Structure 1
Amino acid sequence: MEIQNRFRETRKFSERLAAPLSPEDCVVQSMEDASPTRWHLAHTTWFFETFILCQQADYTCFDDAFGYLFNSYYNTIGEQFPRAQRGLLSRPGLERIWQYRRHVDQQILERLDQPDFADKFHRLIEIGIQHEQQHQELILTDIKHVLSCNPVWPIYEDLPLQCSGQPAARDPLLIEAGIHEVGHTGDGFAFDNESPRHKSYLHACRIDGRLVTCGEYAEFIDAGGYDRPEMWLSLGWATVQQQGWQAPLYWQRAEGEWKQFTLAGMQPIDEHAPVTHISFFEADAYARWRGKRLPTEFEWEVAAATMPIAEDDQFVDRLIAGGRAIHPTCSPSGLCGAVWQWTSSSYLGYPGYHPPAGAVGEYNGKFMCDQHVLRGGSVATHSQHIRHTYRNFFPAHTRWQFSGIRLAE
């Protein structure tokens, strides 16, 4: 069955991402927003166990304590161990988590051989697969932050970066004024926050055909961009002052040259590669400095729908299959891949949106406050996980994701 194969492949891919790490790597938490790799491996397993296996009368929970330790934010399920303290847990150890994963995998796969079980839980298993793919991305961004805190700049995996070269000139994407349809069409999987499909009026605009590069962003830095309050939103300027930002996250200036920490270690800045690890505040300030703006999420989606996602666009599974480091080095041929792109849109429900009933309804809806939408996926996203209607969301100060800039006017 296709769902069995997808479940098996997704679970194995998480193991592949954890393979370069030591047990010590897997328990560290470097900030409140990030979680230890071990926690991600356990939490994604807890999701399948809690929402599927524990609904079976003949199933016995693997470890009763795991419901408290590895529940993330599902209040209708029960209390959770404090997020900011996940890195304080030395036990259960990593080997115990691998045992947990093997146990749940075996139970799910055996039960999927039963037609009634497969029919009843197909949708929830698909959500669990998509949920794990989200955490695969977090495994990478969180461990990158962990390793960046080490003064010897350890390498996650010693692989070469994909060559970039001079970015090709690309015509801007033109959007005509008028009423456009946005949102999921109903074909294939989508999260609840991608629906209902609805009409939205858009003014005529142009969206750049490629992403902002490191070289272009360095011009903003050299022009004193981080020292000019007129370029920034009020809260953005306050954040710059409080945090002492002078460049994107992971950039370091050494002997007059910019370098950046990557999953392949410290590397010279490639001026032609897309700039990444940018907050919404920085993206907005850069756009204002260029005399442009960030696109709305609907402008982005309408433009993206005219261009297919290409086989050579940069996503994590393709980079690993090609023996390349997980780092953005070129703009995608369309609008998806390389880096998530900030939009000017607040993360809100679409007209007519209602969260699903039950605990699964906590997945997206309750976060529709004080967050901005990002579109397009990144080098840490699996190619099977992205689509033009996908809505990612983070607070405006967030920088540890592979987030970048595409301009509009």
Structure 2
Amino acid sequence: MSRFPSEPRSDKAGLESHPQQGDALTSRFLQTREWTEKLCEPLSAEDCAVQSMVDASPAKWHLAHTTWFFETFLLRPYLPKYQVFHRRFSYLFNSYYNAVGDRHPRPQRGMLTRPPLEDVFAYRAHIDRHMAELLDTNESIETARLIEIGIHHEQQHQELLLTDVKHLLSCNPLLPAYREEDPRPICGDGTDQATESQFFTYEGGVREIGHRGDVFCYDNERPRHEVLLSSFRLAARPVGNAEYAAFIDDGGYRRPELWLSLGWDIAQRDRWERPMYWADHEGREAFTLYGARPLDAEAPVSHLSFYEADAFARWSGKRLPTEAEWEIAAADLTPETVETANLAETNLLEPIATNDDAVDRPAQMLGDVWEWTASPYVGYPGYRPPAGALGEYNGKFMSNQMVLRGGSAVTPQSHVRKTYRNFFPPEARWQFGGFRLAEDA
């Protein structure tokens, strides 16, 4: 029954994707909508309905919420005589937009056995038909801007859908696979010794970070501004599984002096002893989107909290980079870099080891794992959230979160940018969170 492409497509500019009107924007909209549904093809209706923890959402909810976004912010205000698909969906599938109205409690999304999955797909088809009408009849700058935001919003949920499904399947004693065939190259097993990473030096001084130009970005990436940096050194690659296993072997989870106080309390409360999906302390096997698989010793370690990354950095005598340091190191990234990165378009779905043995700059800055930084998620100097409900998109979360940079193995190419600021609470582990080390020069 599939009407979907065989692989995700993206704007190959990648790092700098211009908002587009006309046929190009319509094509990107449809490709994004189709790919979300393609991601659900390996899932049963039961898989799509279950919520495995409060932080995650059912696949059915992701399918509906991304659709609600277009209905709420585009069709209702901009398409004359539009009739809503179901009057209660605005309550069921709102996420956190208080200005829009009340919403179903997040912890109870997994209790929504109704509407059935087929009704959610009918809802998506209804919205797509009317969005096609809007695209044909309204070519205003404002609607093009909102459609671009909606496309990127749906790409965020494509990544969340996969990370949420991974957590869901890991809770099943059968350890079922999201996808059976595993195409990833494996460079080493869990018994391999860790190899020390090379470091690159960056001179200090007054630098600029933040988004520039009129290409698409989120409001939290602006304004571009000056920062004063001391000279620093950044690791050539993210910390790998074998390196992290050495931290565990040296009692990393039993040594409170390595941990921030709140991180230690959470680790003890939740009995953390290893990364989230590792089957044992040695890192011989881990749960993946392909089910239980041998762990690649050389691949970036993932599914760690900020607290675990920070503890490892202390153990190694290094530190985590600030987001300004990370962005300065990423300044030389080009559109060609994004095309070769392990992002969603590779279809590998998990972090892999780099095969670049002769790098002249840090590798894997894009893709594989989101990299925790030492920076709290706050607004840049002069930041003001946009007016209206969409002002709640980023600004309202600027408290008790830490910044991650770079994208993961399930981030779409056209969604990632070197100025992109992801953010999660420091205890979050179910995302593809990893890290690389830094030190003062």
Provide the TM-score with structure 2 as the length reference.
0.89
Aligned counterparts, 1:68-217, within 5 A: 68-114=91-137, 116-165=138-187, 171-217=198-244
Kindly indicate whether residue 316 of structure 2 is the aligned counterpart of residue 290 of structure 1.
Answer: yes
SS of corresponding position for 1:216: helix
Q: Distance in 1 between matches of 2:408 and 2:258?
A: 27
**What is the letter of the counterpart of residue 380 of structure 1?**
V
Kindly indicate whether residue 75 of structure 2 is the aligned counterpart of residue 53 of structure 1.
Answer: yes
Q: Distance in 1 between matches of 2:109 and 2:155?
A: 21
The answer on whether the counterparts of 1:318 and 1:383 sit within 8 Å (CA) in structure 2 is no
Tell me which of 347, 350, 358 is aligned to 2:388: 358
Q: Distance in 1 between matches of 2:421 and 2:386?
A: 17
Aligned-residue offset at 1:380: 1.1
* Alignment correspondent of 1:220: 247
Aligned-residue offset at 1:312: 2.2
Aligned-residue offset at 1:310: 3.9
* Alignment correspondent of 1:406: 436
Aligned-residue offset at 1:303: 0.3
Kindly indicate whether residue 64 of structure 2 is the aligned counterpart of residue 42 of structure 1.
Answer: yes
Give the gaps of 5 or more residues in structure 2: 1-22, 189-193, 355-361
Aligned-residue offset at 1:299: 0.2
Tell me which of 426, 438, 441 is aligned to 1:396: 426
Give the gaps of 5 or more residues in structure 1: 320-324
Aligned-residue offset at 1:159: 2.2
Q: Distance in 2 between matches of 1:257 and 1:218?
A: 6
SS of corresponding position for 1:374: strand
* Alignment correspondent of 2:414: 384
Tell me which of 8, 15, 22 is aligned to 2:44: 22
The answer on whether the counterparts of 2:238 and 2:364 sit within 8 Å (CA) in structure 1 is no
Aligned-residue offset at 1:260: 0.5
Q: Distance in 2 between matches of 1:334 and 1:241?
A: 32
**What is the letter of the counterpart of residue 114 of structure 2?**
R
The answer on whether the counterparts of 1:144 and 1:156 sit within 8 Å (CA) in structure 2 is yes
Aligned-residue offset at 1:188: 1.5
Q: Deviations over 1:87-114 (max 9, x none)?
A: 0110001000000000100111122112
Aligned-residue offset at 1:29: 0.2
Q: Deviations over 1:56-104 (max 9, x none)?
A: 3310111000000000000000001000000011000100000000010
**What is the letter of the counterpart of residue 320 of structure 2?**
L
SS of corresponding position for 2:233: strand
SS of corresponding position for 1:300: helix
SS of corresponding position for 1:78: coil
The answer on whether the counterparts of 1:307 and 1:334 sit within 8 Å (CA) in structure 2 is no
The answer on whether the counterparts of 2:169 and 2:176 sit within 8 Å (CA) in structure 1 is yes
Q: Distance in 2 between matches of 1:109 and 1:31?
A: 36
Provide the TM-score with structure 1 as the length reference.
0.95
RMSD, aligned CA: 1.6
* Alignment correspondent of 2:294: 268
The answer on whether the counterparts of 2:406 and 2:416 sit within 8 Å (CA) in structure 1 is yes
Kindly indicate whether residue 325 of structure 2 is the aligned counterpart of residue 299 of structure 1.
Answer: yes
Aligned-residue offset at 1:335: 1.0
Q: Distance in 2 between matches of 1:399 and 1:317?
A: 23
Q: Deviations over 1:203-260 (max 9, x none)?
A: 1001101111000000000001000000100001101110000000011129x76311
